[in-house]
Structure formats: C-alpha cells, structure tokens
C-alpha cells in the first residue's frame, strides 16, 4: 500500500497542492461526463474479488459467506494456510480440492467484467489490474496485453522445482485436478502449481514494470471490488 500511495502521489499529484478541476461534480454522473470528454483517454481499472461475487464466486473475508469462513472441511491450521506456498509444498491436497470447486470455466463474467470490456472496445482502457484468479476478465474478452494479473493465473502452471520449472497448460492441469490426482511433474515428479501467487511469493515482474509506465499516462483510475488491502492475496 505504501508503494501505491507514493506512486499515486508522485504521478497523479495527490496531496501536492492545488490541481486542475477535472470533475464537474464528485458523483457517478460527474465521472461519466469526464469519461465521455476529450480529457479522458487512458483509464486504469484495479479490481478484486468483489466484482466476481455476483457470478457465484465467494470473496475471501466476508464473515459467513467468504472463502476463509468455509474451509473447515480441509482441516487447515488457519484459513490462509491454503494459499501459503510453504504449506502447499507439504500439503497440496486442500488447495487442489478447493480448486475443483472454484475452477475457471464454471462461472460467467459479471456486469463489472463487461464494463471493463466496454472500456476496451471504446479504446479507453489502458490496463486492468486484477487480484482475481478466476480468469473472468479473459472470458469477458480482455487480452493478455490488457491485463496485469497481479496474483497470477490458472492459464499456465509450472513445476515448483527450481531445477526444473517445466511448464504445463490449462488443459493438463484441469485433467489432473478433476481426476483428483495431485499434479506431479512428468519430468522430475515434483509438484506442479498453477501460476497463481501464493503468500510467500513475489508479485509478477509485469505488475511492477506496468505500474511504473501506466501511471504516468492514466487519466482516470477506477477501483472496483477491492479495498486494495487485506482482500484475498494482498496487493503486495
């Protein structure tokens, strides 16, 4: 969060004194008018679990309906362990059991996802930064270059062995998960993990490189479905 605050302050001039007024009014109507104006050419969306809940995918921390509140059946030492890389390497079974329930392809995009697609179609979307691993941004029609999947993606998987790192595609991983077999590397027999970011792993390099360039150009930042802190796997 400090990284984001400093970046916004530096690139957007937040908190640096008097700024040119961009919105006629601080309301949905005011933002809509700004989007339709010639001043708004580059929009960044930062999205989290909240944009997928109406698709039937639970968020992480809601008291009774959230993902963490419904993991008792996996006998975890604490809910977040299911997404910790150190726990996964010793006990991968709970994660893959959960993955069968939430696997991409079983849910449809929401109005929020198609709103982002509309921004793309209108030539206004500079980038969509997403915390989500449900791939619904892709299903809605965003291309890889439109996205920064800050917490990775199910689209590819890799062997966890640093000496191997063999890559596997979505179809291979899906077959393993739904056959209830723990995915093992065909080359070295180490675990294979979807390329999602677990606690204890760094965010993708693309996140940092795009942040540095994108926020030099942005005219409007839209944040949906996330507080940018403590929502699922943190923004780093």
Q: Does the annotation mark 113 as catalytic?
A: no
Q: Would you say 164 is a known binding-site residue?
A: yes
d(CA 111, CA 129): 17
Radius of gyration from C-alpha coordinates of the chain:
19
Q: Would you say 231 is a known binding-site residue?
A: no
Q: Would you say 45 is a known binding-site residue?
A: no
d(CA 65, CA 140): 25
Considering 91, 113, 151, 163, which one is annotated as catalytic? 151
Residues 6+ apart with CB under 8 A from 69: 62, 63, 79
Q: Would you say 128 is a known binding-site residue?
A: no
> By the 8 A CB rule, do 120 and 146 touch?
yes
Annotated binding site: 159, 164, 185, 188
Annotated binding site for Zn(2+): 159, 164, 185, 188
Catalytic residues: 151
């Amino acid at each position: 969060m400090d990284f984001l605050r400093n970046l916004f302050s530096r690139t957007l001039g937040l908190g640096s004194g008097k700024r040119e007024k961009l919105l006629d009014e601080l309301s949905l109507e005011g933002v809509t008018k700004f989007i339709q104006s010639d001043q708004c050419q580059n929009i960044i969306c930062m999205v989290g679990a909240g944009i997928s809940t109406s698709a039937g995918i639970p968020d992480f921390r809601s008291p009774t309906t959230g993902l963490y509140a419904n993991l008792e059946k996996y006998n975890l030492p604490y809910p977040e362990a299911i997404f910790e890389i150190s726990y996964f390497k010793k006990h991968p079974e709970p994660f893959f059991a959960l993955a069968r329930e939430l696997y991409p392809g079983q849910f449809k995009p929401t109005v929020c996802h198609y709103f982002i697609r509309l921004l793309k179609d209108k030539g206004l979307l500079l980038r969509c930064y997403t915390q989500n691993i449900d791939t619904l941004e892709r299903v809605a029609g965003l291309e890889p270059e439109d996205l920064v999947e800050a917490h990775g993606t199910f689209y590819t998987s890799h062997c966890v062995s640093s000496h191997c790192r063999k890559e596997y595609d979505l179809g291979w991983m899906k077959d393993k998960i739904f056959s209830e077999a723990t995915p093992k590397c065909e080359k070295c027999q180490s675990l294979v993990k979807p390329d999602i970011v677990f606690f204890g792993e760094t965010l993708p390099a693309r996140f940092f490189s795009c942040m540095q360039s994108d926020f030099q150009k942005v005219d409007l930042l839209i944040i949906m479905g996330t507080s940018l802190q403590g929502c699922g796997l943190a923004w780093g």
